[in-house]
Amino acid sequence: MSERWAPSVAAAVSRHLGEPWRATGFTDLGERASHPCGIFHGEPISVFAKLNLGGETPAELRGLELLRRHAVAVPKPIAEVRLEHGTLVLLEAIPEIPAEDRTPEQWASIGHELAKLHRVRGRYFGLVEFDGYFGPLPQDNRPAGDWPTFYGTRRLAPLLRRAVDAGRLDADLAKRVERLIGRLPEICGPQAPPALLHGDAQQNNFLTGKDGAYLLDVAPYYGHPEIDLALLDYFAPVPPIVFDAYRAVMPIDRTFGERRELWRLFGYLAVVTVEGDSQFGRPFVGRIAAAVARYV
């Protein structure tokens, strides 16, 4: 993989720097992501490269720029390299502190940075500038007038159709998800103003460096902040200090825990659609069923 990409990466980084650049090594990070990716090491910078096989690249770069405009920490874009079978997104690599080595202060920086993002408010739920991607799946960001409508029609319903079309859900479970969508106005809890979201805020999409947290693989739109909070420990637990640090900037409703699985449901549907026939993905059908049973 690195040998195939190396010449294109070297040429793009050299243009970015205005001087010759070459890779001195490569670290494959594909096991940590839904796309082939890795770090090309070099001087004066190293470069993170990710291969998008669909149309994700423009939305990803626009999402990073949207967050950057609001002074949220994101990696610096370097180039977009078109290949025969996809597009390489090149970002400046940030020396990473792995999750197992994070100090309490570094964990807290994730909560602080997410809360800073959520302080940016919108006029509606959605995003007029562009649609996005949740992993490899297209994400419809057309605005809606209220949160239950947006969550039902722009997140749950499209992903339910994809999961059914992929043969991942039986008819009975699909009907129960539809009933849950119909109940959203009753079960979405207290209203919240539209906040700018990460959109895929599971903890692997935050990188911690020596100077704090950076947001990665963003899928932004204006929505209910509890969505991001529910995804933080979606795949792996995070220490309480992450939520404590968030609360130091933004409140979390005391009944948030009652809705955590409701907000994760769209993610469960996405995993089942993409990974439903794998050892990783199969358990998520049970998580969908458990979430539906809780709210219907």
pLDDT at residue 34 tops 80: no
Comparing CA positions, the residue from 96, 98, 61, 55 lying closest to residue 80 is 61
Q: Is 68 helix (H, G, I), strand (E, B) or coil?
A: helix
Peptide bond into 77 cis (omega under 30): no
Contact 140, 156 (CB under 8 A): no
- Specify the pLDDT at position 86: 85
Q: State the pLDDT at residue 84.
A: 80
Based on its alpha-carbon atoms, the radius of gyration of the chain, rounded to whole angstroms, reads 19
Element (H, E) at 101: none
Among the ranges given (79-88, 109-118, 236-245), the one the predictor scored with the smallest mean pLDDT: 79-88
Angle at CA of residue 134, ends 173 and 82, nearest 5°: 140
Distance separating alpha carbons of residues 199 and 183, to the nearest angstrom: 23
Given a contact cutoff of 8 angstroms between Cβ atoms, the answer to whether 66 and 129 are in contact is yes
- Please give the pLDDT value at position 12: 95
Q: pLDDT tens digits, residue range 240-294? A: 999 999 999 999 999 999 999 999 999 999 999 999 888 888 999 999 999 999 9
> Cα dihedral sign for 144, 114, 36, 59?
positive
pLDDT of 1 reads: 52
pLDDT band at 83 (very low <50, low <70, confident <90, very high): confident
Question: Per-residue pLDDT for 203 more than 70?
Answer: yes
Dist. CA 228–CA 61, nearest whole Å: 20
In the predicted model, is pLDDT for residue 30 greater than 80? no
pLDDT for the residue 36: 86
CA 195 to chain CA centroid, Å, is 15
The pLDDT score that the predictor gives to residue 56 is 85
- Tens digit of pLDDT for each residue in 2-28? 678 899 999 999 999 999 999 999 999
CA nearest neighbour of 163 among 33, 21, 277, 253: 277
Q: Which residue type, as a one-letter code, is found at position 294?
A: R
Q: Judge contact between 187 and 262, C-beta under 8 A.
A: yes
Whole-number mean pLDDT of the chain?
Answer: 94
Confidence of residue 85 (pLDDT cuts 50, 70, 90): confident
Q: How far is CA 92 from CA 20, 48, 74, 118, 190, in A?
A: 16, 6, 10, 25, 40
pLDDT tens, position by position, 206-220 = 999 999 999 999 999
pTM score: 0.93
Model confidence band, residue 72 (pLDDT cutoffs 50, 70, 90) = very high
Contact 231, 267 (CB under 8 A): yes
Tell me, what's the pLDDT at 3? 77
Q: What is the mean pLDDT of residues 176-205?
A: 96
DSSP 125: B
Q: What is the mean predicted confidence (pLDDT) over 88-94?
A: 94
- pLDDT per position as a tens digit, 161-187: 999 999 999 999 999 999 999 999 999
CB atoms within 10 A of CB 127: 27
